[in-house]
Structure 1
Amino acid sequence: MHPLSKGRRAKKYSCMWTCKLSLFISLCNVLFFSPQYGIVLDAGSSRTTVYVYEWPAEKENDTGVVSQIFKCSVKGPGISSYENNPGALAKPFGDCLNKVKERIPVHLHKNTSAYLGATAGMRLLRCSGNSLNSGPFEFRGAQIITGPEEGLYGWITANYLTGNFLEVSGLLPLWFQKETMGALDLGGASTQISFIPEDFQDNPNSTLQVKLYGYEYNVYTHSFQCYGRDEAEKRSLALLLQSRASSNVDNPCYPQNYETAFTMKYFCGSLCTQSLRPANYYPNQLVKFHGTGDPGLCQEMVSLLFNFTACRDRRECPFNGIHQPKVKGNFVVGLRTQHFFLSISFLLLISVVLIVTETYARSYCFSANFIYYLLVHGYKFDAETWPQIHFQKEVGNSSIAWSLGYMLSLTNMIPAESKLIQLPLKPSLFAGLLLFFTAMALLCLIFLVYLCIVSCNQKNISHVEQVFTPE
């Protein structure tokens, strides 16, 4: 046989075995090294958002390195608004879940866990759970996230996204650990503050301990119910109605000459305004509000939402009789909705050109005053600590929301991916097959090396023959 023919055959075998080895490696990657996915539904008071997170099978210090890869806002209001028509939830939820299916590989759907976390008085958990149970994902259940948990998860999210965990994870001693940031979350029904105080041992009952990436943190966190922006505005409307005792009420926080009308149920039907209901409370009665555009009176009205006398001059007690250590370090404020983004822009005198709805526009003055009053008179930020507050909607492509911290916490309980694969084989048989394929891969590698050596020798022989062939 001609030496060149032998060379071509060697190349053919080499290509065939290279393709087989590549296929085997690809199969191993699919079975053992493909990433994991998790879904969190943030069911808030005013809207529901679906987040999709991804992390590698290998964890870092028992905590998955999680990143947000997709976000979908469910159309319509929060799920509590569907109390009288639960079936109407199916379509908006389905639209988002169909988009989620496209972002997660089909073969991983059944091993993808989905969680629904409800905050601020959500009550339709069973309805939402049924929608998720009918999908291809593994629905792990719905739960109400407590105020302290929401604050803690928000703190975890803020520090994870700003790199305060991974930059020191397992590489530096604890005393050289990077300083963490505090977190402020401004929601529709509640607001949370979370940070590591100067000395948590002074008040151990007000801190929560969390372990992430090999380190333990003692975090002060508190959630102020009814101090979310939406519920705070409803309380202000109820207070105005009390002071006027009329169905025509002046509102100093609304723009001058602006007029609107609400039913009593809209702002007095909430649990936060139950104690402020007038004696002649008629849920369907309309109350007209006339805007006067008075900044001074607006600030005065906002101040009535805070109870400063309950602290009775106690140290480290800002309002409502709640203990809070002195704020320390940098803080990130998660502005999860366009409403808050516009309010902060207005407060900081940032020029923002956006098309906004009437609901947003009429509440600019109230929202800005309320947020400012909460931060300065409520949480006690002053001229020195105010520059340490950073207002952000996202870091990178990830939203600053409690849901990422929730997912990070849950990954501590999710085992390595190889343990999640449901195998139809006995462990001993699977181990034997794995050993067999590993041995075959090594033999293929040895054979490929042999083919390369033979091919090189054939080329050398062919070259020598050509040199000494007589003409």
Structure 2
Amino acid sequence: MGSKKKMGYKCRIAGVMLLLIGSIAALVVVAVIQDKLKVKEYGLEFGIVIDSGSSRSNVYLYEWPGEKENETGVVTERKNCKVNGLPISELEVSSKDDKKTFEGFQYCMDEIKNHIPEEKHKTTPLFLGATAGMRLLEMKDQERASKIMGKLRDFLSKQNFQFHNASIITGQEEGLYGWITVNYLKENFLQKNMWNTYIRPNGAETVGSMDLGGASTQIAFQVQERGEGPDYMHVKLYGYPYTVYTHSFLCYGKNEADKRVLDKVIRESSDPAYIINPCYPRGFNITTKASSIYDTECIPKPKNYNSGQEFYMVGGSDSEKCGQIVKSIFNFQNCPSKQCSFNGVEQPPVTGDFMAYAGFYFIARALEQGGKSDLGQFNIAVGNFCNTDWAKLKVQKHWISDTYLKTYCFASHYVLTLLADGYKFDNETWKNIHFEQKIKETNIGWSLGYMLSMSNMIPSEVKEITPMTNPVFAGLIFLFSALIIVTAVLGFIILIRTCY
């Protein structure tokens, strides 16, 4: 009988101990689950970049999930708004035009605001980057350029966003950001796998980029060697380093190159009242004011310059002569290094695929050479275009406005010379050039690349989601704590009864 009683006490003690250990274990498990299995919910982040070029300004809204892939946000274009009014490099001349332009900016800022949740307005970063138009103005009139940038900073700082900066970006930065945009959209940095997560493509090669604006043109491509000098830029994206050769040629954008060619045509003519321009189509004529050609830092003004002087020009439709004049605005002779593009600028050999966008695309489209072509076809297309008279061109290219159509003979020779003689694309490497405006319905330009680089520095807003709500967690903790206390008390009572 005594042994049975003793056995009963042992069973009770064992049961209490099991309950005690189980309660402690359950308490630990609940605490660990609540802490370790937390899910981080990242809200969408937004960023605004204003691209203020030599022709106009565009406001881009980008968004990306706060959970970054190896330090850089996965960015997509949400909205693009074109600012009505003057390019910013033409501000501070007429108060009436300035007012209209700032009204255009305000309209776009209001449009952008409608696409961002209200609670995100004050945390959405806002940047403005001014390109070659302002770089030229800064060379010509630094005080006026400073006033314009100051007015823009004042205007943007009053918007309901987190204004960071309005600055004039360098040509190298413009080229680099364009290269980042192209390769991002081509998924050369990241791509989604079958589980819908982003990974770095195995063995992916990057694509070179070529941008043609109004006042400058840029080339950028990855190189394996770590070159020295300002044209070799080092960037880290998605956790991987890249060395990119990039150079910007100021005064060699389409509009400024056009002025250079017009200057050459005028200087070769003996009669300013009747100038035959071989780059204009036969049957076309125009009266041009001297100020529209020489009011730039890219061309030295002639002796006895008169801004109001008028030049009467008629088209000559002479493709060969036009090509000669276009080549004369480049210097292919002086090269202080192993290989140069032009004007003595060192450049490594071009390799791999290239994306040619902005002005390159529109000129290639006018020649019906968009997408991929070969050098021979492009050359023939240039000759055919330049030897066609004005009346036929207007019928054949009815979708192109007269303002641009009259310039496309010069422009096509310019692209041919720049790419073949300047960047040294030959019959084989020309086939690697893709003339495109968009990739995946997104406009190609420097602003997306800029936003990708800036997103490295913008913190993500994180909301932690625990597997249990706070009341449930607190209830379980209370329950298992109470069980531990109760079992400890029972164990103590049983132990006292056993001993006494």
Instruction: Please state which band the TM-score falls in when normalised by the shorter chain.
Output: 0.7 to 0.9
Aligned with 2:123 (options 80, 93, 111): 111
- Contact 1:261–1:288 (Cα < 8 Å) also in 2: yes
Are 2:103 and 1:91 aligned?
Answer: yes
* Structure 1 segment 111-150 matched on structure 2, within 5 A: 111-122=123-134, 123=145, 124-150=148-174
Are 2:70 and 1:61 aligned?
Answer: yes
Q: 1:60 to 1:296 in 2, by over 3 A?
A: same
Are 2:319 and 1:304 aligned?
Answer: no
Cα distance in structure 1, aligned partners of 2:368 and 2:322: 18
* Structure 1 segment 116-195 matched on structure 2, within 5 A: 116-122=128-134, 123=145, 124-167=148-191, 171=199, 176-195=202-221
Q: Which residue of 2 aligns with 1:356?
A: 400
Cα distance in structure 1, aligned partners of 2:467 and 2:189: 41
Q: Which residue of 1 aligns with 2:493?
A: none
Q: Which residue of 1 aligns with 2:312?
A: 288
Partner AA of 1:398 in structure 2: T
* Structure 1 segment 66-81 matched on structure 2, within 5 A: 66-81=75-90
Residue by residue, what CA displacement relative to the aligned partner does 1:200-256 show, whole Å, maximum 9, x if unpaired?
Answer: 246566411000001000001101111111110011111112222542321111110
Unaligned runs of 5+ in 2: 1-37, 135-144, 371-377, 386-394, 478-500
Cα distance in structure 2, aligned partners of 1:337 and 1:41: 22
Q: 1:444 to 1:50 in 2, by over 3 A?
A: farther
Instruction: Give me the TM-score of the superposition, normalised by structure 2.
Output: 0.74
Are 2:219 and 1:210 aligned?
Answer: no
* Structure 1 segment 302-451 matched on structure 2, within 5 A: 302-311=326-335, 314-335=337-358, 339-340=362-363, 342-343=365-366, 345=368, 355-418=399-462, 438-440=469-471
Q: 1:330 to 1:171 in 2, by over 3 A?
A: same
| Residue 280 (structure 1) shift | 1.7
Cα distance in structure 2, aligned partners of 1:219 and 1:352: 41
Q: Which residue of 2 aligns with 1:422?
A: none
Cα distance in structure 1, aligned partners of 2:99 and 2:318: 44
The SS at the match of 2:79 is: strand
Q: Which residue of 2 aligns with 1:262?
A: 288
| Residue 368 (structure 1) shift | 1.1
Residue by residue, what CA displacement relative to the aligned partner does 1:151-210 show, whole Å, maximum 9, x if unpaired?
Answer: 10011000000000003998569xx5411110111111111110113x424656641100
- Contact 1:68–1:397 (Cα < 8 Å) also in 2: no
Partner AA of 1:64 in structure 2: G
Partner AA of 2:168 in structure 1: I
- Contact 1:263–1:284 (Cα < 8 Å) also in 2: yes
Cα distance in structure 2, aligned partners of 1:189 and 1:99: 29
- Provide the identity percentage: 41
Q: 1:361 to 1:445 in 2, by over 3 A?
A: farther
Partner AA of 1:44 in structure 2: G
Structure number with greater CO (CA < 8 Å, separation at least 6) is: 2
The SS at the match of 2:334 is: helix
Cα distance in structure 2, aligned partners of 1:394 and 1:164: 16
| Residue 344 (structure 1) shift | 5.3
Q: 1:380 to 1:352 in 2, by over 3 A?
A: farther
Partner AA of 2:415 in structure 1: I
The SS at the match of 1:290 is: strand
Q: Which residue of 2 aligns with 1:457?
A: none
If you compute each CA radius of gyration, which structure gives the higher value, 1 or 2?
A: 2
Aligned residues: 399
| Residue 141 (structure 1) shift | 1.6
| Residue 132 (structure 1) shift | 1.8
Cα distance in structure 2, aligned partners of 1:389 and 1:53: 28
| Residue 271 (structure 1) shift | 0.7
Cα distance in structure 2, aligned partners of 1:328 and 1:441: 61
The SS at the match of 1:52 is: strand
Cα distance in structure 1, aligned partners of 2:411 and 2:424: 18
Cα distance in structure 1, aligned partners of 2:360 and 2:61: 18
Q: Which residue of 2 aligns with 1:24?
A: none
| Residue 131 (structure 1) shift | 2.6
Cα distance in structure 1, aligned partners of 2:396 and 2:447: 28
Q: Which residue of 2 aligns with 1:50?
A: 59
- Contact 2:332–2:341 (Cα < 8 Å) also in 1: yes
Unaligned runs of 5+ in 1: 1-27, 420-430, 447-471
| Residue 295 (structure 1) shift | 0.6
| Residue 52 (structure 1) shift | 0.5
- Contact 1:339–1:360 (Cα < 8 Å) also in 2: no
Cα distance in structure 1, aligned partners of 2:66 and 2:228: 39
Superposition CA RMSD, Å:
3.0
- Contact 1:54–1:66 (Cα < 8 Å) also in 2: yes
